Amino acid sequence: MKTNSIVVISLIFIGIACAPDIINTEGDVKAITEVSEQIVKAWNEGDYQAFIGFLDSNASVMPPAAHSIKGIEALKSIYSESFNAFTFSVTESISEINVFGDYGYVMANWVGSSTRIGGESIDFNNKMIAIYKKQSDGRWLVYRNIFNSNDDTQKEKSAELSD
């Protein structure tokens, strides 16, 4: 019994020692915040090229009720269609930013509307987590993104727009 306790305690200490430290340097948090703000600006201005420029070449997005979209070329295709078909009005409220070395994440809400060009507008209230990766040149780019609606009625409206 004593040996089992020692093994368990040792494993706990090893786990704690190996856990990444939160390293929220003011500069990194500010840089990620600025990128996040620029992404929102790109969406609001319909600037597809600016938006794509904030994605890591190996970025993946996990949209609700759909398969993951992996890699910059697949993302360019999907987002090109979105920017060509819709205009957006987005407000972002960041609730948390943490940095762990060369990775950081943002938890936020995106509230706004998307309007099919020449057509109907729908409101959205989404939650998201974006993982940022620090590039070799010091820039922070979106590496992973997952989002979903805070409102179940939006699922029905989104399905209507995709028909």
Chain segment 64-73, per-residue pLDDT in tens: 989 999 999 9
Closest residue by Cα to residue 108 from 82, 128, 135, 81 = 128
What's residue 19's pLDDT?
53
What's residue 143's pLDDT?
98
Reported confidence tier of residue 3, pLDDT bands at 50, 70, 90:
low
- 71 φ/ψ sector (left φ>0, alpha ψ -120 to 50, else beta): left
Average pLDDT value over all residues in the chain? 87
**Does the structure show a pLDDT above 60 at 56?**
yes
Tokens standing for residue 110: 């995106």
Q: Which domains does the chain have, with CATH numbers?
A: 23-162 (3.10.450.50)
What's residue 104's pLDDT?
95
**Does the structure show a pLDDT above 90 at 95?**
yes
Reported confidence tier of residue 2, pLDDT bands at 50, 70, 90:
low
- According to DSSP, the β-strands at 121-134 and 140-149 are antiparallel
Chain segment 124-137, per-residue pLDDT in tens: 999 999 999 999 99
Average pLDDT score over residue span 25-46 = 96
Contacts of 135 (CB under 8 A, 6+ apart): 56, 141
**Does the structure show a pLDDT above 90 at 106?**
yes
Position with higher pLDDT, 51 vs 26: 51
